[in-house]
Amino acid sequence: MGTGPHARPAHQGDPGPGVGPRAKLNGRLFHRSPLSDLLKLEAMRTGAEGETLLWRAPRPLAADGGPLGAAELDCLVARARSQAAALEAHRAAVSAGLFPQDAVTRIHAGKLEAPRP
């Protein structure tokens, strides 16, 4: 018949080339999930905290005349802490907008139902 083993019957149709990438698991085809910003902010804050630890690690070696002096390392640690604090403030604001303050109390009391798809 001239059809290969993976040929699709005509009645099934082809959804088109752009449909597959837009079918996302969060149930939203054209908009981002509200948790996307929170997730990104938490990842960036984790990175800033890691950067703080990174700059603190060589601090004991600075007294021995390492490539970076104690003042430079202290400045880098302070900058990383400042970045983490700014990200935490922004993350807290986004989180407060997503989750009502009484949600935990209502969940424990059995008065908050899970959202229905």
**This prediction's pTM:** 0.60
> How large is the average pLDDT for residues 42-69?
89
CA distance 26 to 6: 30
Neighbours of 76 (CB within 10 A): 18
The pLDDT of residue 12 is: 58
Mean pLDDT over the full length of the chain: 78
The pLDDT of residue 84 is: 96
> How large is the average pLDDT for residues 69-84?
94
